[in-house]
Chains A and B, each alone.
Chain A
């Protein structure tokens, strides 16, 4: 009996231990094995539309709510939302479904998948529906629709949009004798501030996750293009410009921060960087605007979160940020009726009311200008004044080829190569110029291989 009791006690304690391990594993990696669907009550004779998306975690609920709002708003169309995992997972699943009848009608795709979607020849440009319907594209935020416009055609409908901002701990700034109301704007100011905080010894000055997206943003912020041929927008890109002056500047600065202990290296996961910031272990981080609500809520009562623009070198050319996030693509292998129904759904989610709801609950920008007139958005900005930074940063950005964003078919892979190069520099394996040269060469060869297979 004694043995049995002991064994069951042991088992119970193990289970308790396992259940205690439910720490958040990172917003970029939502774990869900079964696709969740919403809007289960099927209406008789309604046109079914399948919508695949990659909005995990708390955002899934918001997407489901949007879909539910649409399904309840009319009785001719029934949208079924299916969560497919991370953006990368979604892309893999979409590729696997292409050429079969199992795929979606509408699919959400991250911005760096845009070139692939066009080259796949399996999508219908959103512009077709816009023209047929006489829909006014002017209501979209121009800096956002710019990304998804190729040859003056809007290929996909922007859906969730973010950009990177500087988050800083106002208390640590005050503590180190810095002005908590003026965040550093340039690389040089950031270095000075980080140094001061690190020397004070309470926390490390800064941490940037090794995330290729930041590199793309820091290029655009210097007005520099990432690939040739007008950032891949005049014609297919054939060469990576990663090893240009802009890149070397970023890497030299970043390495200097690490070497002088003004910043530390916590690896590739933005979530680890966020965790260290929330715990007060680092004073400044870079992250997407979509992280704002979580950070402000998570640090309530501990310290005040400040937000600033993405830094740039003092002598940088005029630039700005590129919109990140994802957009909605229409697949062209579905019957016309179904595509039309899907278009109705897309129009619905881009309406100011729905965008306001989306914006408040997720932290992504509203994609339509009119959403800012909604009372709920105004109230939200009052409650989270930090959000104004992101909005200002977006509106201050001048749209040119650099800030419109680079396009290349192998973007997801290129991002990994860039992250490898950053690691090589930060770990003293290679000098900035050498690491970027090698990475640029590798990306160029991948681009050319890609161009060889799409004709």
Chain B
């Protein structure tokens, strides 16, 4: 939210479209009435322009939100129609069952496995391909490739790699005399395997974002650092990282929210199993609401997830943004 304020103040500071306060105070009364009418007109115009997005927001955001608040307090029959209004019974049942906590901890583990690793890995790749050496374009192309692959396609590629008997990964392991790993069938491995695949999927987007962030750092800074006798590691830690921090911060927020919403790979690769070891909260919502048609408990979980993401995002902005350096 801080960054939005900054953008807003920058726009206002340049005085685009709006007369400055001094000029308003200096004009005569008749002019000020006209000005008021103008303002009214402008406001009306603004609302006309806002209307399409407002309508879309109401249709696809606010109405569903209210509806899910209502649904979270009902139980539905097998056809998904409201059978009874039960107030907070669903929430009570959720907080009492161990399933919710297990799903939340799986989600948390998934975030811990994927977000830092994807960020560091992509930053590493971006940093080593930043040098303008011959043939670097090929690596840049390869590292950003996963962005063009949909989650569905990516999951199927990895499904084949992970396959217990026909999979390539186990084949490569057998070449170095390591026994087959039960990638997706052992609860100890499944979340790790899904994370591995997700890190690869994230790589494309993060690599592009971080690379362009690196390109935004002026060349002169490197040169003067070099003249001052700073080595590559020191230059990176002291100059590049602080200048890149807004980009990293953006990438972090987007990855955390993305990790919370991971669904496709889990649906295709493990369906939440084995023994719920990959049953993240989004998948559990899908199961309850759209497979078993219990919209009540599904909506209740969705609201809990909403509150968690909201709190985490606010927290990230409040705490981490202080460390971010805007030029």
Q: Does B75 contact A (CB under 8 A)?
A: yes
A window 67-84: CB within 8 A of B: none
Contacts of B290 in A (CB 8 A): 92
User: In the bound complex, do residue B78 and residue A120 qualify as a contact, i.e. CB atoms below 8 Å apart?
Assistant: yes
User: In the bound complex, do residue B291 and residue A88 qualify as a contact, i.e. CB atoms below 8 Å apart?
Assistant: yes
- Give the contacting residue for A95; candidates B79, B166, B271; CB below 8 A: B79
User: In the bound complex, do residue B79 and residue A98 qualify as a contact, i.e. CB atoms below 8 Å apart?
Assistant: yes
Cβ proximity bits A433-455 to B, threshold 8 Å, 1 near / 0 not = 00000000000000001101110
Q: Are A267 and B79 CB-contacts (below 8 A) given A423-B274, A424-B275?
A: no
Name the distance in Å between A10's Cβ and chain B's nearest Cβ: 7
User: In the bound complex, do residue B165 and residue A275 qualify as a contact, i.e. CB atoms below 8 Å apart?
Assistant: yes
Q: How far is the CA of A412 from the CA of B186 in the complex (A)?
A: 23
Q: Of B50-58, B152-160, B218-226, B316-324, which binds chain A? A: B152-160
Name the distance in Å between B270's Cβ and chain A's nearest Cβ: 9
Cβ proximity bits B286-307 to A, threshold 8 Å, 1 near / 0 not = 0000111110000000000000
User: In the bound complex, do residue B137 and residue A3 qualify as a contact, i.e. CB atoms below 8 Å apart?
Assistant: yes
Cβ proximity bits B246-279 to A, threshold 8 Å, 1 near / 0 not = 0000000000000000000000000101111000
Contacts of A10 in B (CB 8 A): 138, 141
Cβ proximity bits A415-427 to B, threshold 8 Å, 1 near / 0 not = 0000110011001
Name the distance in Å between B127's Cβ and chain A's nearest Cβ: 23
Q: Does B122 contact A (CB under 8 A)?
A: no
User: In the bound complex, do residue A266 and residue B164 qualify as a contact, i.e. CB atoms below 8 Å apart?
Assistant: yes
- Give the contacting residue for A427; candidates B80, B156, B159, B274; CB below 8 A: B274
Q: How far is the CA of A231 from the CA of B184 in the complex (A)?
A: 34
Q: Does A369 contact B (CB under 8 A)?
A: no
Q: Does B187 contact A (CB under 8 A)?
A: yes
Name the distance in Å between B297's Cβ and chain A's nearest Cβ: 9
A window 1-52: CB within 8 A of B: 3, 6-7, 10, 14, 18, 21, 23, 25
Q: How large is the interface on A (under 10, 10 to 19, 20 to 34, 35 or more residues)?
A: 35 or more
Q: Are A454 and B77 CB-contacts (below 8 A) given A7-B141, A272-B164, A281-B165?
A: yes
Contacts of B166 in A (CB 8 A): 23, 275, 279
Q: How far is the CA of A279 from the CA of B182 in the complex (A)?
A: 18
Q: Does B76 contact A (CB under 8 A)?
A: yes
Q: Are A453 and B83 CB-contacts (below 8 A) given A10-B141, A409-B78, A423-B187?
A: yes
Contacts of B80 in A (CB 8 A): 95-96
Q: How far is the CA of A218 from the CA of B41 in the complex (A)?
A: 76
B window 164-207: CB within 8 A of A: 164-166, 182, 184-187
Contacts of A272 in B (CB 8 A): 163-165
Q: How large is the interface on B (under 10, 10 to 19, 20 to 34, 35 or more residues)?
A: 35 or more
Q: How far is the CA of A341 from the CA of B138 in the complex (A)?
A: 62
Q: Does A413 contact B (CB under 8 A)?
A: yes
Task: Say what secondary structure dominates the interface of chain A.
Answer: helix
- Give the contacting residue for A453; candidates B75, B159, B160, B163; CB below 8 A: B75
User: In the bound complex, do residue A429 and residue B275 qualify as a contact, i.e. CB atoms below 8 Å apart?
Assistant: yes
- Give the contacting residue for B160; candidates A23, A116, A423; CB below 8 A: A23
User: In the bound complex, do residue A6 and residue B138 qualify as a contact, i.e. CB atoms below 8 Å apart?
Assistant: yes
Contacts of B165 in A (CB 8 A): 266, 272, 275-276, 279, 281
Name the distance in Å between B7's Cβ and chain A's nearest Cβ: 37
Q: Does A119 contact B (CB under 8 A)?
A: yes
A410 (CB) vs chain B CBs: closest residue: B292
Name the distance in Å between B36's Cβ and chain A's nearest Cβ: 52
Q: Does A265 contact B (CB under 8 A)?
A: yes
Q: Does A185 contact B (CB under 8 A)?
A: no
Cβ proximity bits B10-41 to A, threshold 8 Å, 1 near / 0 not = 00000000000000000000000000000000
User: In the bound complex, do residue B291 and residue A92 qualify as a contact, i.e. CB atoms below 8 Å apart?
Assistant: yes
Task: Say what secondary structure dominates the interface of chain B.
Answer: loop
- Give the contacting residue for A419; candidates B137, B138, B273; CB below 8 A: B273
Q: Are A95 and B293 CB-contacts (below 8 A) given A25-B156, A453-B75?
A: yes
Q: How far is the CA of A420 from the CA of B153 in the complex (A)?
A: 27
Contacts of B145 in A (CB 8 A): 14
Q: Does A268 contact B (CB under 8 A)?
A: yes
Name the distance in Å between B246's Cβ and chain A's nearest Cβ: 32
User: In the bound complex, do residue B187 and residue A412 qualify as a contact, i.e. CB atoms below 8 Å apart?
Assistant: no
User: In the bound complex, do residue A420 and residue B78 qualify as a contact, i.e. CB atoms below 8 Å apart?
Assistant: no
Name the distance in Å between B46's Cβ and chain A's nearest Cβ: 39
A454 (CB) vs chain B CBs: closest residue: B77
Q: How far is the CA of A454 from the CA of B141 in the complex (A)?
A: 57
Q: How far is the CA of A116 from the CA of B138 in the complex (A)?
A: 56
Name the distance in Å between B288's Cβ and chain A's nearest Cβ: 9
Contacts of A410 in B (CB 8 A): 292
Contacts of B84 in A (CB 8 A): 452-453
Q: How far is the CA of A276 from the CA of B170 in the complex (A)?
A: 14
Q: How far is the CA of A266 from the CA of B164 in the complex (A)?
A: 6
- Give the contacting residue for B185; candidates A267, A279, A413; CB below 8 A: A267
Q: How far is the CA of A119 from the CA of B83 in the complex (A)?
A: 14
Cβ proximity bits A249-277 to B, threshold 8 Å, 1 near / 0 not = 00000000000000001111000100110
Name the distance in Å between B14's Cβ and chain A's nearest Cβ: 41
Contacts of A449 in B (CB 8 A): 75, 294
Q: How far is the CA of A25 from the CA of B137 in the complex (A)?
A: 35
Contacts of B275 in A (CB 8 A): 420, 423-424, 427, 429
Q: Are A266 and B77 CB-contacts (below 8 A) given A21-B160, A25-B156, A25-B159?
A: no
Name the distance in Å between B89's Cβ and chain A's nearest Cβ: 11
Q: Are A119 and B157 CB-contacts (below 8 A) given A267-B185, A272-B164?
A: no
Cβ proximity bits A398-421 to B, threshold 8 Å, 1 near / 0 not = 000000000001101100000110
Q: How far is the CA of A423 from the CA of B270 in the complex (A)?
A: 13
Name the distance in Å between A281's Cβ and chain B's nearest Cβ: 6
B159 (CB) vs chain A CBs: closest residue: A25
Name the distance in Å between B209's Cβ and chain A's nearest Cβ: 22
Q: How far is the CA of A23 from the CA of B163 in the complex (A)?
A: 11
User: In the bound complex, do residue A427 and residue B79 qualify as a contact, i.e. CB atoms below 8 Å apart?
Assistant: no
- Give the contacting residue for B156; candidates A14, A21, A96, A276; CB below 8 A: A21
Contacts of A423 in B (CB 8 A): 187, 273-275
B137 (CB) vs chain A CBs: closest residue: A3
Q: How far is the CA of A267 from the CA of B182 in the complex (A)?
A: 9
Q: How far is the CA of A291 from the CA of B78 in the complex (A)?
A: 32
User: In the bound complex, do residue A412 and residue B291 qualify as a contact, i.e. CB atoms below 8 Å apart?
Assistant: yes
A14 (CB) vs chain B CBs: closest residue: B145
User: In the bound complex, do residue B274 and residue A450 qualify as a contact, i.e. CB atoms below 8 Å apart?
Assistant: no
Apart from A279-B165, A412-B291, A412-B292, 19 more pairs, CB < 8 Å: A6-B138, A14-B145, A18-B153, A18-B157, A25-B156, A92-B293, A95-B78, A99-B81, A119-B78, A265-B185, A267-B182, A275-B163, A275-B165, A423-B187, A423-B273, A423-B275, A429-B275, A452-B84, A453-B77
Q: Lowest 7 CB-CB distances: which A-B pairs, in order?
A: A267-B185, A453-B77, A453-B83, A423-B274, A276-B165, A423-B275, A266-B164
Q: What are 12 A-B residue pairs whose CB atoms fall within 8 Å in the complex? A: A10-B138, A21-B160, A99-B81, A116-B78, A119-B78, A267-B185, A272-B164, A275-B165, A276-B164, A413-B292, A419-B273, A427-B274
